A and B are shown apart, each in its own frame.
Chain A
Amino acid sequence: MSRIGVFVCHCGENISATVNCQKVAETASGYEGVVHSVDYKYMCSDPGQTLIKQAIKDKNLTGVVVAACSPRMHEPTFRKACNEGGLNPFMCEMANLREHCSWVHDKGDLTTEKAIDVVRTQVEKVKRNQPLTDIKVPVTKTALVIGGGIAGIQTSLDIANCGHKVILIEKDPSIGGHMSQLSETFPTLDCSQCILTPRMVEVAQHPNITLYTYAELESLDGFIGNFTAKIRKKAKSIDEKLCTGCGLCTTKCPTKKIPSEFNEGLGFRPAVYVPFPQAVPNIPVIDRINCTYYIKGKCKVCEKVCPTKAIVFDQEDEIIEVAVGAIVVATGFGIKQPDFFPEYGYGKYPDVITGMQFERLASASGPTFGEIKRPSDGQVPKKIVFIACAGSRDEAKGIPYCSKICCMYTAKHAMLYQHKVHGGESTVFYMDIRAAGKNYEEFVRRAIEEDTVKYVRGRVSRVYEKNGKLIVKGVDTLLGAMPVEIEADMVVLATAGVANPGAEELAQKLHISYDGYKFFAESHPKLKPIETNTGGIMVAGACQSIRDIPESVSMASGAAVKVACLFSQNELTREPLIAVVNRCAAPLYSTCVGCFLCQSACPYQAIEREEIKDRSGKLIKSIAKVNPGLCQGCGTCVAFCRSRSIDIQGYTHDQVYNEVMALLNEY
């Protein structure tokens, strides 16, 4: 006979403001099998949990229903409390009265009725729960880090310094990411490469880090602690073991006029190239799309000049299979490209550039060696206009969010321009200045007050060319929407940061969630900002939402700690919510008839064939058997089974059926 305890939480006023918690508890006390039913202000608090533990002991409860928030929030808390109270943790269920009831409905009888219904279903479910024990699984203490930008670098170094092995993969020929492209960083104006390149070298030399550049994730299988990742190492056409990085091939390559990705199209690179001089590893890559040999079948100049015979034209992509226990995704962000701003003439006028292109112009390693020169004629611009929020906070453009970093880098750009071009005039058009961060507001004030950058609050409607000048038409909303027209030599757009183009595909490979903008979704917006919904996979940096460098670095270190915590255990426990095939006494052995439809339904190849033999070894019956190590508990096999022989623990036919029936009998 079941002895169920119901515990209704007020959640301060979060639930009790719209649901009559007392009535819920009173009604529940009348249900068959319910021997204890109370309401309390904060069930998750220490006294609240003690209430549950005490009731389990005093009333000898066989099942507990906690009517509170979402099980995705506090199920582990209450299951742990039950365990401490002497009850199997899987004999506890939660009725979601907060997220699914009190927060989404107005105060009234209907809301309380719904709450009562939800509690009743869980009472019926928990009566049919079975005590279960966690499954122990081993942990592979190697982490896979995807993306070699500053977040990926930081997280790799931190994990490696904890003494664990790290495999870092980067899709480009060098690690460094967007940070390596930056000239100087806000709010200190220290040189980006000077602080980044030592870290890059550290990654390359760290004994615990294996670095694969020009490599992407091909596929991922497995689960927390036990992933198998396939990495596609794209053919560099260079033997990495033989190459010394002398750079002769890059200087002798006859195809020299390919727009450089690193310089955002403002400079050129050869077909065999190292993205930038400080690249790690310092090994060139042949760009097969632009290389004369791959197009016309002859040239091979690089092969002739290479002193170590490292050029391998017929090199093929290599698939590397690695076993890892945890994954950190740090793939960063992308930037909106030309066709996005027809009204600003981007792509039409060469002197309308993006913020990232300005970074390259201002960078000492850039195409102009740090001098601010117009891309069109190489002249130094006397008047420059910066347009903030180019794309961001613009629902019409499909980007209603704030890109967060633009206010700061625009102030930095204007400041750098004023430092580099004496007597130059810079104007910033902005919507709001969002400079929340340590020393950020002070930095913007410095740009305005010390470096005399003119800030105009208003939007720009159009940029067009007239007599060799770029006319910027805007409005000054602080002067009563007065129209403003500026003749500029150059215009810089603070373009919106967006998710990487491949983000969706990668999320699908990893089975992690992503939001409407294709940024990866965290498990909880406040309390689990680093974990994803998939156990063992963390996110770091701008792939989760646009972040600046300090935030990316802190998030990366956070992700490293999460990985280190995971690796500090020799065994992990997994929820035993997996499928099982029923077994019974001879002569039936199981109701399974061996049709193996479940095998075709299983996405994890977890269904095996079990042969039941008699004493003489004669085969009596072949039935399905679930491999508990592979089963992830989706339950697709359960819905497929024709004879109802397979069931999933925690969501059995019996539990679910009675849950629904309890709902409908009185609903």
Chain B
Amino acid sequence: MSEFEPKVVAFVCNWCTYAGADLTGTSRIKYATNVRIVRFPCTGRIDYMLLMKSFAEGVDGIIVSGCHPNDCHYTSGNFQARRRWIVFRNLCDFMGIDIRRIQFSWVSAAEGAKWADVVNTTVTTIRELGPYTDYKKVANYFEKEVSHG
């Protein structure tokens, strides 16, 4: 059996982390292929239900990353994201979702090397944690329950 390749989705803002990841490319810094980047205008736009849905659909790890505090292109979107993350984290914990699988980070447009670092550490962590199927099972169970009336 081949080695477990974790599926990691990154939800990033357009102005800092997306640009930072561009810089990683321009600087030719290599990182793990496991990550898929989804672009948002701002971390404040990220609907955390998408994170839940991603777990349900079989993702093993998630990165949420935006501008550093005070550096948000839209003044305060990243603060709203952080506030929501603090609440969401507790909710995840309550529901039994392993919060080690969600990496919340700040990567600025000038931090190409940091982006590679964030991806590599997350992928390594998730690789150690193994595939994530708990929530997927639960989601399938509910789907069946609902369809059976």
CB atoms of B25 and A651 under 8 A apart: no
The residue from B36, B42, B108, B109 contacting A663, defined by CB atoms under 8 A apart: B36
Query: Which of A50-58, A234-242, A332-340, A630-638 sits within the interface?
Result: A630-638
Specify the chain B residue showing the minimal Cβ separation from A221. Answer: B75
CB atoms of B41 and A99 under 8 A apart: no
Specify the chain B residue showing the minimal Cβ separation from A504. Answer: B70
Which of B15, B42, B46, B116 has most chain A Cβ within 10 Å?
B42
Instruction: Say yes or no: A603-B76 contact (C-beta < 8 A), given A507-B71, A633-B41, A635-B44.
Output: yes
Which of B18, B53, B80 has most chain A Cβ within 10 Å?
B80
CB atoms of B41 and A635 under 8 A apart: yes
Q: Tell me which residues from 287 to 326 in chain A have a Cβ below 8 Å from any Cβ of chain B.
A: none
A72 to B19: give the CA distance in the assembly, Å.
Answer: 8
Q: Tell me which residues from 1 to 59 in chain B have a Cβ below 8 Å from any Cβ of chain A.
A: 5, 7, 9, 14-16, 18-19, 21-22, 24-26, 28-31, 33, 36-42, 44-48, 50, 53-54, 57-59
Q: How far is the CB of A308 from chain B (nearest CB, A)?
A: 45
Q: How far is the CB of B81 from chain A (nearest CB, A)?
A: 8
Q: How far is the CB of B55 from chain A (nearest CB, A)?
A: 10
Task: Report A637-667 CB contacts with B as 1/0, cut-off 8 Å.
Answer: 0111000000010110100110111011101
CB atoms of B109 and A533 under 8 A apart: yes
Instruction: Say yes or no: A651-B53 contact (C-beta < 8 A), given A70-B25, A508-B70, A533-B109.
Output: no
Query: Which of A109-117, A160-168, A441-449 sits within the interface?
Result: A109-117
Q: How far is the CB of B102 from chain A (nearest CB, A)?
A: 15
CB atoms of B80 and A98 under 8 A apart: no
Q: How far is the CB of A620 from chain B (nearest CB, A)?
A: 29
CB atoms of A104 and B110 under 8 A apart: no
Interface size on B, residues (CB 8 A): 52
Instruction: Say yes or no: A114-B25 contact (C-beta < 8 A), given A513-B16, A651-B45.
Output: no
CB atoms of A667 and B7 under 8 A apart: yes
A507 to B71: give the CA distance in the assembly, Å.
Answer: 8
Asked if A611 is at the interface of the complex by the 8 Å CB criterion, the answer is no
Q: How far is the CB of A635 from chain B (nearest CB, A)?
A: 3
Q: How far is the CB of B113 from chain A (nearest CB, A)?
A: 10
CB atoms of A636 and B74 under 8 A apart: yes
Asked if A142 is at the interface of the complex by the 8 Å CB criterion, the answer is no
Asked if B61 is at the interface of the complex by the 8 Å CB criterion, the answer is no
- CB contacts (< 8 Å) of A533 on chain B: these are 15, 19, 73, 109
Instruction: Say yes or no: A656-B38 contact (C-beta < 8 A), given A106-B30, A521-B109, A639-B44.
Output: yes
Asked if A369 is at the interface of the complex by the 8 Å CB criterion, the answer is no
CB atoms of B45 and A634 under 8 A apart: yes
CB atoms of B44 and A525 under 8 A apart: no
- CB contacts (< 8 Å) of B39 on chain A: these are 71
Asked if A226 is at the interface of the complex by the 8 Å CB criterion, the answer is no
CB atoms of A634 and B77 under 8 A apart: yes
Asked if B100 is at the interface of the complex by the 8 Å CB criterion, the answer is no
Asked if B84 is at the interface of the complex by the 8 Å CB criterion, the answer is yes
Q: How far is the CB of A5 from chain B (nearest CB, A)?
A: 21
CB atoms of B9 and A663 under 8 A apart: yes
Asked if A20 is at the interface of the complex by the 8 Å CB criterion, the answer is no
Which of A72, A577, A639 has most chain B Cβ within 10 Å?
A639
Asked if B98 is at the interface of the complex by the 8 Å CB criterion, the answer is no
Asked if A136 is at the interface of the complex by the 8 Å CB criterion, the answer is no
Specify the chain A residue showing the minimal Cβ separation from B48. Answer: A639
A96 to B77: give the CA distance in the assembly, Å.
Answer: 24
A104 to B21: give the CA distance in the assembly, Å.
Answer: 9
CB atoms of B26 and A525 under 8 A apart: yes
Instruction: Say yes or no: A508-B71 contact (C-beta < 8 A), given A603-B77, A635-B45, A657-B53.
Output: yes
Specify the chain A residue showing the minimal Cβ separation from B32. Answer: A105
The residue from B28, B54, B108 contacting A660, defined by CB atoms under 8 A apart: B54
- CB contacts (< 8 Å) of A659 on chain B: these are 38
Asked if B72 is at the interface of the complex by the 8 Å CB criterion, the answer is yes
Asked if B117 is at the interface of the complex by the 8 Å CB criterion, the answer is no
Instruction: Say yes or no: A634-B42 contact (C-beta < 8 A), given A104-B28, A603-B76, A664-B58.
Output: yes
Asked if A511 is at the interface of the complex by the 8 Å CB criterion, the answer is yes
CB atoms of A577 and B109 under 8 A apart: no
A626 to B147: give the CA distance in the assembly, Å.
Answer: 39
Q: Tell me which residues from 499 to 550 in chain A have a Cβ below 8 Å from any Cβ of chain B.
A: 507-508, 511, 513-516, 521, 525, 533-534
A474 to B131: give the CA distance in the assembly, Å.
Answer: 58
Asked if A601 is at the interface of the complex by the 8 Å CB criterion, the answer is yes
CB atoms of B110 and A521 under 8 A apart: yes
User: A interface vs B, CB < 8 Å?
Assistant: 70-73, 96, 98-100, 103-106, 108, 110-111, 113-114, 117-118, 121, 507-508, 511, 513-516, 521, 525, 533-534, 577, 601, 603-604, 632-636, 638-640, 648, 650-651, 653, 656-657, 659-661, 663-665, 667
Beyond known contacts A513-B19, A664-B59: 9 more, CB 8 A cutoff: A70-B22, A71-B39, A110-B5, A110-B33, A117-B36, A118-B36, A121-B36, A634-B77, A650-B41
What are 16 inter-chain pairs, A to B, with CB distance below 8 A?
A96-B37, A104-B116, A513-B108, A603-B77, A604-B75, A634-B45, A634-B77, A635-B41, A636-B44, A636-B76, A639-B45, A639-B81, A639-B84, A660-B38, A660-B54, A663-B36
User: B interface vs A, CB < 8 Å?
Assistant: 5, 7, 9, 14-16, 18-19, 21-22, 24-26, 28-31, 33, 36-42, 44-48, 50, 53-54, 57-59, 70-77, 80-81, 84, 108-111, 116
